[in-house]
Structure 1
């Protein structure tokens, strides 16, 4: 197994001691493993903030392409998985909060809409640290996406934080209610 594979495996497992040792032995901090993933990519998506900080301190590019198909960034992966501490570490490292990656994903939209209810703590952190609450991804804001997916608690949270209640958000909520009429009233 190549040293890069060991580094990525250690980062994915959250083993900061082994990550530091492998880098000291010459593992390139941004080297991709045999399937094209980096240590930062997997540490961010798996939720290991201490490893993320270690890799960034060692020179890892915090805005590198990440994800299975290199479509994302470490921040977008962390936001989508609700890895709040990792999101904080990446913001501390200077990562911008605008649309990113090949897909132009907006971290706030991902945090607000991933999973069954979004990730409220991650949304709070992103907003507290300066994310634009009305930023659009594929022509929809986080509020519009949350309404479209029927995530009532997230809609409330975003409105409470000052999201603009657009006609598109209202229409999305109405469409969701119509699609799920039987589920909502039973």
Structure 2
């Protein structure tokens, strides 16, 4: 019964699907174009629930991603662990693919398996330009994930306090992130920054009215 449900949730399409996913993994634009012209299902899933576009995105295969997106691939199609091309590109800092997903209907409200938007892991991992792009696109600055952390909290708690994370904190604060939203234990960003000795981040937060 479980297997039947999974098959219905993630339909697969035999050889055509395998070839399209392989072409995406190999960044083979000519093969992708040929397969789509022959009628391959653009959003067919592999055993992990990935579309060809998600396979291309994981490999940061920009050319393959471009041809798939321009042909109408779903930038929000999630796999079994709730990754989508949009969410994965944001989390991993694949900036060019992220830009394409944003231009082709990325759902800014979609969340990953931790209940976070693309902005939260981008902030945590120090992807400055990705954070900037997601802010400019209108991503919710104060979304709280399942760990009770915002992008600002993750940049501090899981960041290293260095130049990249400091710049990200500045970007978030300048964009209007709430500097006093606490974690699940009631601890605010300022206290986290102080406890870690992140003096530059502390200055940014204080200047923005952090308590």
After TM superposition, is the score higher than 0.5? yes
5+ long unaligned stretches in structure 2: 1-13, 181-186, 198-211
1:133 aligns with 2:153: no
Contact 2:65-2:97 at 8 Å conserved across structures: yes
SS of 1:131's equivalent in the other structure is: coil
Residue 110 of structure 1: how far off its partner (Å): 1.4
CA deviations on 1:80-123 (whole Å, 9 max, x unpaired) are 21100011000000212124245433100111113xxx211111
Residue 35 of structure 1: how far off its partner (Å): 4.4
Task: Point out the more displaced range, 35-44 or 75-84.
Answer: 35-44
Cα distance between partner residues in 1 of 2:72 and 2:50: 16
In structure 1, the residue matched to 2:189 is 169
Q: Output the TM-score relative to the length of structure 2.
A: 0.72
The higher radius of gyration belongs to 2
Contact 1:5-1:34 at 8 Å conserved across structures: no
Query: Residues 160 and 102 (structure 1 numbering): CA distance in 2 closer, same or farther, change over 3 Å?
Result: closer
SS of 1:136's equivalent in the other structure is: coil
Residue 171 of structure 1: how far off its partner (Å): 2.7
1:70 aligns with 2:66: no
- The total of aligned residue pairs comes to 173
Over the aligned positions, Cα root-mean-square deviation in angstroms equals 2.3
SS of 1:126's equivalent in the other structure is: helix
Task: Point out the more displaced range, 29-38 or 96-105.
Answer: 96-105
1:85 aligns with 2:96: yes
Residue 14 of structure 1: how far off its partner (Å): 1.7
Cα distance between partner residues in 1 of 2:157 and 2:67: 38
In structure 1, the residue matched to 2:159 is 150
Cα distance between partner residues in 2 of 1:6 and 1:132: 38
Query: Residues 49 and 161 (structure 1 numbering): CA distance in 2 closer, same or farther, change over 3 Å?
Result: same
Cα distance between partner residues in 2 of 1:46 and 1:147: 28
5+ long unaligned stretches in structure 1: 178-186
Q: Output the TM-score relative to the length of structure 1.
A: 0.80
Query: Residues 61 and 134 (structure 1 numbering): CA distance in 2 closer, same or farther, change over 3 Å?
Result: same
Residue 27 of structure 1: how far off its partner (Å): 1.6
Cα distance between partner residues in 2 of 1:160 and 1:104: 22
